[in-house]
Structure 1
Amino acid sequence: MRAFISAFCLSACLPVAAQAQCGGDFSAFVAGLKAEAQRAGLSAAETNAFFKGVRQDGRVLKADRAQGVFRKTFVDFASAVISQNRLTTGAKMAQRYDAVFDRIERDYGVSRGVLLAFWALETDFGQVQGDFNTRDALVTLAHDCRRPDLFRPQVIAAAQLYQRGDFDPARTIGAWAGEVGQVQMLPADILRNGVDGDGDGHVNLKGSSADALMSGAKMISGMGWRRGEPWLQEITVPEQMDWAQTGLNHSLSTDQWARMGVRPRSGAFQGRQGAVLLPMGRKGPAFIAYPNFEVLFEWNKSFVYVTTAAYFATRLEGAPRLDPRAAEPGLGVEQMKALQKKLAARGHDVGPIDGILGEKTREAVQREQARLGLPADAWPTPALLAKL
C-alpha cells in the first residue's frame, strides 16, 4: 500500500558515493553493489551469499509506474479502505495487543489509533504483506534510474540486515517497493528503528506484531511526533470565510479559527494550533490538522493516503463517521493533467504532471483561485480549468 515511498530515508539513509550509479549492464551493476556492500562491512562470503541468484523483476517496474489509486478523491479512497470489518478488527487488535500499545504510548508517545490505522492500510493487520522478493525488488529499483539515490542505499541496508541474521535474501518477500513486514518498513528504517518487541533477540517485522508495532512507533516518534497531542479533528466551516487561509501552509490558533466561525463537529478543539484542511473544497469534508498530522507525510507522501490514515485513526479511537457533505465535482485524470500543465506554464511548481492532486498542486490551485477572484479553497473544478 505504501506506493509513495517515504522520503525520510532520502537524506538519512546509509551514505553512498557522491552520485548513485544506475542503469547499464545488470551484472556490472550488481558487481558495483557487491563492492559497496563490502565497504559497508560485509565479508566477501557474506556479500556473495546475499546477492546469489539476484535478478531484475519486471513486475516491480510495472507496479512503480502504475500508482493510479491515489488519483481517487479523499471520500472515494476513504470509503474504499475504511470498512466496518477493518474497524471491528482494529478494535479487536487494540484489545489483543493492549500491553504492547501501552508500552508504545509510554516509550514513544504515539497513539494506538495511528498505528492501528497504518497497520490496517499497509497490510490488513499483517495478512497481506506482499509477494515480491524484497532483495530483487530493491536491486531492480536501484538499477532503474528514476530514484537510485533512494533505493541503492536500501540494498546495502538489506545486506546489513542479512549480516546480523534478520533478513533472508532468498525468502524475504514484501511490497513491490522493498518495504517489509506488517507495517511495511524499508530496510534502512529497520536498521535505524527496528525494535525487538517480543524479546526473542531478533527484529522480525513479518512474523511478530509486537516487533512491527514497536518499530513503527519508534520511527514515527523519530519523525517528530509530539507526545500526547492530537493529529486530526473533524470540523464544520461557515458558508463564507477567507478560504485563502485554509490549507496545510496556513496554520492559525484555534481561537482565531473559532472567530472565523470554524467549530469542532463534536466536543471542543483538541489542540491550540492547526490548519483547516478541506480535502475536497469548502463544500466537502472539513478537518483541522494539528502539527502531528504533517509528521505522517514522512511515512507516506500521498495527500489522500495520509488524510485517510489520519481520519481512520480518529475513527479507531472513537470519532464518529465523517459528514461527507456535498463537494463540488472535481476533475478527471486527463483534466487534472491539463490543469497541472496550465499551472506549470504559469510558473507554479506542481511536481510531476501525473493527474494526482498532491499538496503542490493544491497550493498552486489556491493561488490561482485567489488571483481569479474565486473561493480559494484549493479544490480544482471544471470552472477553474476553463478560466485558466
Structure 2
Amino acid sequence: MGVLKRVSLAFVLGISPVVAMAQCGDSFNAFKDGLQAEAVAKGIDASTARAFLAGVRQDPAVLKADRAQGVFQRPFIDFSRRLISQNRIDTGRVKARQNASVFDRIERTYGVDRHVLLAFWAFETDFGSFQGNFNTANALVTLAHDCRRPGLFRPQAIAAIELYAQGGFDPRTTTGAWAGEIGMVQMLPQDILTNGVDGDGDGAVRLKTSAPDALMSGGKMLQHLGWRAGQPWLQEVTVPAQMDWSLSGLSTTKSVAEWQAMGVQARQGALSDLPASLILPQGHKGPAFLAYPNFNVYFDWNQSFTYVLTAAYFATRLAGAPVYDAGNPDAGLGPDQMKQLQRKLQARGYDVGKIDGILGSGTRGAVQAEQQRLGMPADAWPTPALLNRL
C-alpha cells in the first residue's frame, strides 16, 4: 500500500520543494547529474554517487502506478472489508506467537503495541510474502524527476545513495513497492537511515529478509514519529441519534467526559481518559470511532484517511475488538459524482486538492462546511442529496 507517504521529508533534509521543482522535468540524464552533484555536496564520494546513478533508468510503470490509485476512492466499509479477511486475522495471530519475543522487545524499547505493527505488516506486504518487484533506485529517481511530488521523492533518492555508500543498498538488485518503499513493513530510504535496526544481531539491517529487523525498525520509526507508549489509538463507539455532527472530524478534539455528556459511549469496554476526536467515516448513520492522540501518528506513515482508519481499526481487531457495527449509512457518491462534487466545492473557493474522486481531508472539510451552511447534518459524508443541493 505504498502511497501518499509523508510530504514533509524535503524539509527533513533541508531541501526546499521549490528547489526540487526547479530541477524536475529536465532531461533525465541532466536530472541524474543534478542528483549526483547534490549527493556530493552532502559529503558522499563522487565515484560512489556516479556508480549508483550509472544504471538508473526511468520507469514508465512507476508513473502509471502513481496515477492509478483508484482503490482509495472506496468508502471505509468497502475498503476495510476488502483488506481485512479472516485469513489475515488468523495469520496475524500466528505471526504474533512466532515473533512474541521480538514484539516484547519492541513494546519494552519503543512502547509500540504489537498489534499496530502486525496490522502494518499485514497490509503492506501480507506479512512479507509480497514486497514489490519494482527496482527501487529506478522508482525513486523516476518519481523525483516527475514534477508531481519532487519535494517528497528527491530527498529519498539522495537517501538511497547514502544507503548505498554505507553498503546497505544495491541499486541494481534492491526491489520494493512502486513508490520506493523497501522491506516487510515498507520503509522509505530516509526512514531506514534514521530508524533502521539490526533486530536479529547479525550486524546488518535487512528489512526484506529479517522479520526482527523489519519489525524493530518499524517500531523505532513509530516512536520517532511520536507514538505514546501504553496509550490506545482508536476505539469504536456508539453515538446518539441526534447531536451536533459538526463536532465530528479530526479538527475537533474534546475530553472523553465531554463526548460522554453528548451521548457518545464505548461499544466495548471503557473509554480512555484522553483527548479524542469523533470519526464518522460514512456519516452519522455508519460506523463511529474515537481517535486518540496516537491515531495521528498513522498519518506520518500514510496520508490516506481510509487506509489509516482501516489499519488502525485492524490493529484493534487483532487485539480482540469485535467487528464494527456498520450501521445503515446514507448512500455515498461514485467516483465520477465525487469528482463533480469536488469541482463544485472548488468553484466555491474550497481547497480540495486534486480533483481525484477521493474523499480526502480537504474534501471532507469542505463538505462539512457546506452541510452546516445548508442546514444538513454536518457529518462530512457527501451524499447525492448534498450534490443536488449544490
- Aligned residue pairs, count: 388
* Equivalent in the alignment of 1:33: 35
* Equivalent in the alignment of 2:384: 382
* Equivalent in the alignment of 1:223: 225
* Equivalent in the alignment of 1:6: 6
Between 3-12 and 168-177, report the one with greater CA deviation. Answer: 3-12
Cα distance in 2 for residues equivalent to 1:48 and 1:359: 41
Whether the aligned pair in 2 keeps the contact of 1:14 and 1:157 (CA below 8 Å) is no
Which 5+ residue runs of structure 1 have no aligned equivalent? none
Q: CA RMSD for the aligned pairs?
A: 1.3
Cα distance in 1 for residues equivalent to 2:247 and 2:46: 58
Whether the aligned pair in 1 keeps the contact of 2:10 and 2:154 (CA below 8 Å) is no
SS in 1 for 2:290: strand
Cα distance in 1 for residues equivalent to 2:47 and 2:362: 47
Cα deviation code 1:343-362 (max 9, x no counterpart): 11222221111110011111
Shift of 1:18: 6.4
- 1:7 counterpart letter in structure 2: V
* Equivalent in the alignment of 2:106: 104
Cα distance in 2 for residues equivalent to 1:30 and 1:285: 48
Whether the aligned pair in 2 keeps the contact of 1:230 and 1:271 (CA below 8 Å) is no
- 1:358 counterpart letter in structure 2: G
Shift of 1:270: 2.5
Identical residues among aligned pairs (%)? 62
Whether the aligned pair in 2 keeps the contact of 1:40 and 1:156 (CA below 8 Å) is no
SS in 1 for 2:356: coil
Aligned counterpart in structure 1 of residue 365 of structure 2, from 355, 363, 366: 363
Shift of 1:45: 2.6
Cα deviation code 1:40-67 (max 9, x no counterpart): 2222332232123211000000001111
Cα distance in 2 for residues equivalent to 1:210 and 1:274: 32
Cα distance in 1 for residues equivalent to 2:381 and 2:157: 39
The answer as to 2:282 corresponding to 1:293 is no
The answer as to 2:110 corresponding to 1:113 is no
Cα deviation code 1:17-38 (max 9, x no counterpart): 9601111221121122122222
Shift of 1:120: 0.5
Shift of 1:150: 1.4
SS in 1 for 2:338: helix
- 1:4 counterpart letter in structure 2: L
* Equivalent in the alignment of 2:349: 347
Cα distance in 2 for residues equivalent to 1:243 and 1:358: 18
* Equivalent in the alignment of 2:186: 184
Q: TM-score when scaled to structure 2?
A: 0.97
Q: TM-score when scaled to structure 1?
A: 0.97
SS in 1 for 2:353: coil
Cα deviation code 1:67-113 (max 9, x no counterpart): 11100010101000100010011001111111111111111111111
SS in 2 for 1:19: helix
Cα deviation code 1:220-261 (max 9, x no counterpart): 111111111101000111111111111111111111111111
- 2:5 counterpart letter in structure 1: I
Between 68-77 and 340-349, report the one with greater CA deviation. Answer: 340-349
Aligned counterpart in structure 1 of residue 260 of structure 2, from 258, 261, 264: 258
Cα distance in 1 for residues equivalent to 2:16 and 2:293: 32
Cα distance in 1 for residues equivalent to 2:295 and 2:19: 33
Cα distance in 1 for residues equivalent to 2:252 and 2:207: 37
Cα deviation code 1:193-213 (max 9, x no counterpart): 111111111111111111111
